Amino acid sequence: DPKHPLYNEINSVIAEHMRYADMDPKTMEETWPLIYEEGDMRVYKREIEEDGMIVDPLKAIHTVSGVTGHEICHYFYNPEVRMDWEGTLESTKTMEYLSEDSLVTYQVHKRVWPTAQRDTYFWSHIRHCPSEDDSESADYWVVCNHSTDYNESNCQMVAKCVRVLFNVALICQTIVEPPPAGKEISRDNLRCRIQYSANVNPGGWAPASVLRAVYKREYPKFLKRFTQYVIDQTKDKPIMF
């Protein structure tokens, strides 16, 4: 039984993202042009225009040591800390908690000259997808942020903003190098494989060259800043498996 009005939509969007989980870099490179590479981070992008709009889908694969997928997803989902790590945000407002793993947020993003200011109104959902006991599949933690118009009329929007439609997913897998026999697992034994996918329709008029330059610059910055934030927040805390 749907526990809240967005329950079915969230299930189908998550299922779709999980179908594309675990694209290894080789397969990625066959169909996705690599636009940025630094250390373990690879950012891929397709150039797609839909009725004159840039809707370049973006995928980033990154491996971060010392944290778990649960920790990465916990901080990505938690609206209370978003202003601490999301550098392109002017404001964020949690409109409604649909359940303990689903909520609706209104955000205003910093203006990128010469385009108009953008805002986003979206649901967020966090989910643990344990591997089936056949242990063929991996164990994932997922967060999805997806535009919505659910109860939009209750939201006091910032005037003159252009609404952005987007569908973002963060899919994480924790890799544990077993410690020597009898030793506790420490953060030195942890690595987290992150897949970030973003489909952003910037809405309204925006020059293709400017948008593509912004995305090329902002996404790697955002992933580095966010993952470093989680490393800093968790380093002295017990591990969240």
Instruction: Tell me: does residue 104 bind ligand XAF (CB under 6 A).
Output: no
Instruction: Tell me: does residue 126 bind ligand XAF (CB under 6 A).
Output: no
Stretch that binds ligand XAF, among 49-57, 127-135, 163-171, 178-186 (CB under 6 A): 163-171
Task: Report how far apart, in Å, the C-alpha atoms of 67 and of each of 30, 91, 125 are.
Answer: 30, 27, 20
Stretch that binds ligand XAF, among 8-16, 36-44, 127-135, 212-220 (CB under 6 A): 212-220
Q: How many residues bind ligand XAF (CB under 6 A)?
A: 18
Instruction: Tell me: does residue 77 bind ligand XAF (CB under 6 A).
Output: no
Tokens linked to 187: 């953060």
Stretch that binds ligand XAF, among 93-101, 154-162, 179-187, 211-219 (CB under 6 A): 211-219
Please tell me the distance from the alpha carbon of residue 154 to that of residue 95, in angstroms, as a whole number: 8
Near ligand XAF by CB under 6 A: residue from 3, 93, 110, 225:
110
Near ligand XAF by CB under 6 A: residue from 59, 70, 109, 193:
109
Which residues, at least 6 apart from 60, have a Cβ–Cβ distance to it below 8 Å?
Answer: 41, 42, 43, 44, 194, 195, 196, 197, 219, 220, 223
Other CB atoms within a 10 A radius of the CB of residue 43 amount to: 21
Instruction: Tell me: does residue 227 bind ligand XAF (CB under 6 A).
Output: no
CB of 134 to ligand XAF, least distance (A): 32
Instruction: Tell me: does residue 41 bind ligand XAF (CB under 6 A).
Output: no
Instruction: Tell me: does residue 206 bind ligand XAF (CB under 6 A).
Output: no
Which residues, at least 6 apart from 213, have a Cβ–Cβ distance to it below 8 Å?
Answer: none
Site for ligand XAF in 184-203 (CB under 6 A): 200
Q: What b-and-e string marks burial along 51-79, b requiring 16 or more CB atoms within 10 Å of the CB? A: eebbbbebbbbbebebbbbbbbbbbbbeb
Q: Choose among 11, 193, 217: nearest CA to 102.
A: 11
Stretch that binds ligand XAF, among 39-47, 134-142, 181-189, 214-222 (CB under 6 A): 214-222
Task: Report how far apart, in Å, the C-alpha atoms of 66 and of each of 83, 176, 190, 194 are.
Answer: 23, 10, 5, 13
CB of 88 to ligand XAF, least distance (A): 4
Instruction: Tell me: does residue 164 bind ligand XAF (CB under 6 A).
Output: yes
Tokens linked to 97: 């908690």
The three-class DSSP label of residue 211 is helix
- Interacting residue ranges for ligand XAF, rule: CB under 6 A: 86, 88, 107, 109-110, 112, 118, 120, 145, 164, 166, 168, 200, 214-215, 218-219, 222
